[in-house]
Amino acid sequence: MTRPSIIYCSGPITTGGNVPVNVRRGIEAATIIMDRGYVVICPHEKAFGMEMLSPRSYEDWMDYDYRCIEACDALYRMPEPSVGGDREVAYAQKIGRPVYWSYETLFAGVPLLQTVDRKWAYPTTPAKMCFSCGLLVLREADHVACRGAA
């Protein structure tokens, strides 16, 4: 099975003190990568939207960013100084994700499509709902939550 490659776009948000300019630059970088056909995870997108509606601490956002990096195939690091970006690069390298410092090396080094092993399959039989507890049950023999009939 193939899927588009996922790129994490890393760069300054709060470093340098000009958050609006940093966010604009991050979204511009993500757009360049997206326009080439990649799927992009861009933390700059959440800087105004999610942070305004659901504020988190800096470390909470970094922990979330690390989980996003785990889901990516590679990390693109913008050239501007960034404390958080440097931490993201270190984490990506620690877990074995390649880091790219220019669009040219990124586009040359990461294929547009990734081949992935499919380790799960959709159920071949439809699920039934247990009328007693409301659980969806694939096989009645596996249903032990209650004594109801599926």
Residues 102 and 126 in one domain: no
Q: Which domain holds residue 147?
A: 122-150
Residues 21 and 77 in one domain: yes
Report how far residue 103's alpha carbon sits from residue 6's, in angstroms, rounded to the nearest whole number: 14
Residues 111 and 130 in one domain: no
Average pLDDT, rounded, for the chain = 86
Residues 105 and 130 in one domain: no
Q: List the structure tokens of 89.
A: 């690069």
Residues 55 and 85 in one domain: yes
Q: What is the pLDDT of residues 47-71, one digit of tens each?
A: 778 888 888 999 999 999 999 999 9
Number of domains in the chain: 2
% of residues, the chain, pLDDT over 70: 78
pTM for the model = 0.76
Above 50 in pLDDT, residue 124?
Answer: yes
